[in-house]
Structure 1
Amino acid sequence: MLNMAVFTLPLLILTSLLVSLCNGAGIATYWGQNTGEGTLATACATGNYKFINIGFLNVFGNGQTPQLNLAGHCSPNIAGSCSRFGNDIASCQSSGIKVLLSLGGAAGTYSLSSPSDAQQVATFLWNTFLGGTSNSRPFGNAVLDGIDFDIEAGTGANYDVLARALQGHSTSQRKVYLSAAPQCPFPDAHLGTAINTGVFDFVWVQFYNNPKAACQYNGNTNQLLASWRKWSTVNAGQVFLGIPAATRAANNGFIPPQVLISQVLPTIKSSPKYGGVMLWFRFFDTTYSNAIKSSV
């Protein structure tokens, strides 16, 4: 008689890996920072993306009036100017694409002065962009799927409180997805504490614009893969490889598509936490996602 216990552990490992790959493998990108990238609906209609982060809410916290910066796509300070994107968001979601609002970015004024401040920001985000109610909802009746943390300024103080407060709005009927976009030096100075809470569903690590940190592609994959191995251990649902969509999209860290396909993806896809690739950003993604989507 066969000893079924011999097959149990390998089978469980294989099943876990397959579930991870089937549920998570996809491409994420950022939209909202260049009017030349077209509409959100057009981006989703490509069929290339599984996640789109709308960037950015780059003013918030510390008593400030929160402000969107969508780089000319609309004028958030003018009532109703951005409401047309509500239909785009709904169109994307009907195709199974998760749409999140990204906080922070490289240019902005934001910080969380206290746990109470973080709670207030969480309430604002819930009522203005998620499942709550407000007289001022920039995207109309659209309900975004979650919030992305792209925190690149100030300190990391109280972002763990913000993340937990947002997670607290999840229900069995509607989950609030949380993602983070840390820099590749490990652990991230701004988001390390927040990520350690374990409440983030997706972490798309920025393996670019960090040439001195020895954690991105520099002509060979050694440093990149060594850094990936560290990030693949974080307490989060899935980890994505964040890279520029073109040489002009970042100062450094660009990986030619064929190098990604042949030298990077075969290794990182073996991680149970592998979720896919994040491309910065939609405006520059004229060919890259097409080139890699069948391999991701």
Structure 2
Amino acid sequence: MKLTTHLALILASLFPLVLGYWGQNSYGATHTSDTANWQKTLSFYCQDNSIDAFPLAFLDVAFDTGGLPSINLANICNVNDDSVFPGTDLPNCSFLASDIQACQAKGKIVTISIGGATGAVSFTSDAQAQQFADTIWNVFLGGSSSTRPFGSAVLDGVDLDLEGGSPSHWSAFVTQIRSHASGASKKYYITGAPQCPFPDAYLGSVINAVGFDAVYVQFYNNYCGLQAFNDPNSWNFAQWDNWAKTVSPNKNVKVYIGAPAASLAAGSGYVSASTLATYALQTRSQYSSFGGVMLWDASQAYANGNFAASIKSALSNGGTSVPATSPPASSTSHTTTTASSSTPSPSPTGGSCGTVAPWVNNVAYVGGNQATYGGHLWTAKWWNYGEIPGGNSFYMSSACLS
């Protein structure tokens, strides 16, 4: 083994090689009837060494009833199905404390992810952002509060997955978290999950202003996704590597390849485990900022055979990957439909869609956003830009009633 390769492996071992978002039950969203493979509790995914870090997704409301944030962990714990702290909309998920602590005991990193496709956390001033950072520190991290949703568990940091709202004042938030963590008895991480188009609309100014430990770049649902890995005009990891080395305040920041963990986990960008492993190894050999692979999400990765294990094995062993096993039979029993390639006509006005704005091609739509087009009401499944409703899998539709 060359010395440079050996050094790269040593440095990589200081960071998670594979991380998987947990909390949104992505598999359940795409396989509604296959409840046996829906998202399990966190400790289930910590039983082996496939995934090294888990951002808990998502904290999607900053200031709700009682002045506290709210979190939504889909089928595991949310404001609609579980008990909340009195006078607030913050779910009491303290039953997850033992799960989190069990994962941490295995050396895994567990953070809280703020934002998400439907989250729109924004601030009006630096002071408000700093106040929110104080709340996050006391409710989730090393501070103290009577309203800690994960009980005695102390999370390992904050992940920013900003896909809505305003990017203003977030640098003040990060700086305040760093101030609290300074001199703490444990390491606290600050990470972000920008879209691959550079610069990212919501996180670009933030990651330029304050140091992040890692960015989990979402190389999916965009022209620069993994499907374009061999297209030098679209695949832009080089831009992110250059940012890490020349712009980021933390010149040791790590850049991750964010990837869908199954074919239905995203609208585009999915590649097989063996292909992703090959791409990751090639990227690591070219760019010293490479940190590892981020998967969306843990539930999809588990249902898709040994997907996460294969990636982890390849990165750990320098090239030898474990072939992905076939997913359970029940996880593949879905019907694929092909949308018509014809261009829908403009949306009518009036009826049940009368109060919803028509779709336009120069606006980014995030999950949950609605627009009218071709006589239908369209609801975005995830972030997209310029994708015409009806010609792809980015939207769900329902007829406009007259």
Structure 1 length normalisation: TM-score? 0.88
Structure number with larger C-alpha Rg: 2
Q: CA deviation at 1:84?
A: 0.8
Deviations 1:6-41 (A, max 9, x none): xxxx97x67763442232351011111127121100
Query: Helix, strand or coil: the match of 2:131?
Result: helix
Are 2:261 and 1:240 equivalent residues in the alignment? no
In structure 1, distance between residues paired with 2:234 and 2:50? 25
One-letter identity of the residue aligned with 1:221: N
In structure 2, distance between residues paired with 1:52 and 1:269? 25
Q: CA deviation at 1:108?
A: 2.4
Deviations 1:214-265 (A, max 9, x none): x112265224984111112322421110000001000001122222223442
Tell me which residue corresponds to 2:187.
175
One-letter identity of the residue aligned with 1:26: L
Tell me which residue corresponds to 1:20.
11
Query: Helix, strand or coil: the match of 1:110?
Result: coil
Q: CA deviation at 1:48?
A: 0.9
Give the total of aligned pairs.
Answer: 283
Higher relative contact order (CA 8 A, sep 6+): 1
Tell me which residue corresponds to 1:208.
220
In structure 1, distance between residues paired with 2:196 and 2:168? 19
CA contact (8 A) 1:61 1:111 kept: no
Unaligned stretches of 5+ in structure 1? 1-9
In structure 2, distance between residues paired with 1:123 and 1:94? 26
Q: CA deviation at 1:164?
A: 1.0
In structure 2, distance between residues paired with 1:250 and 1:18? 30
Tell me which residue corresponds to 1:6.
none
Moved over 6 A (4+): none
Superposed, 1:121-132 pairs within 5 Å as 121-132=132-143
Q: CA deviation at 1:114?
A: 1.1
Query: Helix, strand or coil: the match of 1:31?
Result: coil
Tell me which residue corresponds to 2:227.
218
Superposed, 1:151-190 pairs within 5 Å as 151-170=162-181, 171-190=183-202
In structure 2, distance between residues paired with 1:30 and 1:264? 18
In structure 2, distance between residues paired with 1:274 and 1:25? 11
Unaligned stretches of 5+ in structure 2? 29-37, 86-90, 316-402
Are 2:57 and 1:55 equivalent residues in the alignment? yes
In structure 1, distance between residues paired with 2:64 and 2:94? 27
- Alpha carbons of structure 1 residues 253 and 20: separation in structure 2 relative to 1, 3 Å: same
Query: Helix, strand or coil: the match of 2:50?
Result: coil
Tell me which residue corresponds to 1:228.
237
Deviations 1:271-293 (A, max 9, x none): 22211100001111122112221
Percent identity between matched residues is 37
Query: Helix, strand or coil: the match of 2:226?
Result: coil
Query: Helix, strand or coil: the match of 2:283?
Result: helix
**Deviation larger for 22-31 or 223-232:** 223-232
One-letter identity of the residue aligned with 2:288: P
Superposed, 1:1-296 pairs within 5 Å as 17-24=8-15, 26-34=17-25, 36-61=38-63, 65-76=68-79, 77-79=83-85, 81-170=92-181, 171-211=183-223, 215-218=224-227, 220-223=229-232, 226-233=235-242, 234=244, 235=248, 236=250, 237-286=253-302, 287=305, 288-296=307-315
Across the aligned residues of Structure 1 and Structure 2, the Cα RMSD in angstroms comes to 2.3
